[in-house]
Amino acid sequence: MAFLWRNRCGLLGWDNPATCREGDPIDLVNVVLVGLDDDLGEELAADEAFDVRRVEDLADGGLGADVDAVVVALHDGAPLEVLAGLRMQAPEAAVLVITAPDREADGAVALHAGAEDHLVTGSIPQGLLPRAIRYAVAHRRLRRDLSTVDETTGLPNLRGFAPIAEHHLRMADRARTPVVFLFVRLEGIDVTAEADDGASPIAEAAEVLLEAVRGSDVPARIAEDTFAVLLTGDARGAESVVLSRLVEAIATHDAARATPRPLSLQVGSALYDPDEPATLTQILETAGRRLHTPKEPDPSGTP
């Protein structure tokens, strides 16, 4: 867990003040408070380690992609719906829920749904909330760094995709058969934004991609706005099939939306040839340099 201690006064440096020296940088934590009592908010605002913003209601939006933690008071509303809304607006943020004593069950539901911590009003001594937030953020970062699955799309992330891809490359070397990788990037849309109907652009892009690939292919979300797909089987034939299906899936998606928001994807590809070995990083970089907007094939066969 060395990343937690990247400076002397990092996320958990407060636990041992002797480790912090005058002039050491502070690991600033960006916190959004939703419906929280003024006294708890003032305690955080007085701590120089926190950058605090207030939001009266999640429906107002505006949490931002850079938020580290969201502290939300569960006054009313279903905890599962609250958690889903938070994850849509700030998927990387740690979530702490605060409930009244008579609503502790809601806090338990929120924890089961993925919240990092639950506190009960009337039982929060001074200093506990800042400590809980720091631990929640540290836990969230550690879980993210060790995870192999992207929470927003349910697809493998780069950590999960890499060993699968490396295994296929070794099989390709033994069989002396090529492998094709697609590099798919979402273009012209803020991937952290939420549509009026609550849809996430990156989740929509993942759905479209899954419509286009075959069951044996391996799609993954390898960056904030980028997917990779390992095509299996007849590599050269598979590429044209998947690209054609991707164009159709994009058109179907755009036509089905109640509110206009066309989905624009750029696609690049790279062929792994066992006779000219390359690393996975080199393959993906090659595919990334070849990004273009796929077009519907001309029925006449004209390029």
Stretch 278-292: mean pLDDT:
91
Work out the average pLDDT over 279-284.
93
Q: What is the pLDDT of residue 26?
A: 58
Q: Name the pLDDT band for 302 (thresholds 50, 70, 90).
A: very low
> For the residues 82-104, what does the mean pLDDT come to?
88
Q: Give the per-residue pLDDT at 180.
A: 92
The pTM of this model reads: 0.61
Mean pLDDT of all residues in 6-18: 46
**265 has pLDDT over 90:** no
pLDDT reported for residue 204? 86
Q: Tell me the per-residue pLDDT of 48-74, one tens digit each, with 9 for 90 and over.
A: 888 898 887 777 666 777 899 999 999
Least reliable range by pLDDT among 92-106, 208-222, 238-252: 238-252
Q: pLDDT digits over 103-162, tens only?
A: 999 999 999 888 999 999 989 998 899 999 999 998 888 887 788 989 888 899 999 999
At 267, phi and psi to the nearest 5? -130, 135
**Quick check: 217 pLDDT over 60?**
yes
pLDDT tens digits, residue range 164-208? Answer: 999 999 999 988 889 999 999 888 666 665 555 556 788 888 998
pLDDT at 301: 46
Q: What are phi and psi of 231, to 5 degrees?
A: -90, 130
Q: Which one of 30-39, 75-84, 125-134, 240-249 scores highest in mean pLDDT? A: 125-134
pLDDT at 216: 85
Structural domains of the chain ordered from first start: 2-144 (3.40.50.2300), 158-289 (3.30.70.270)
- Per-residue model confidence (pLDDT) at position 199: 65
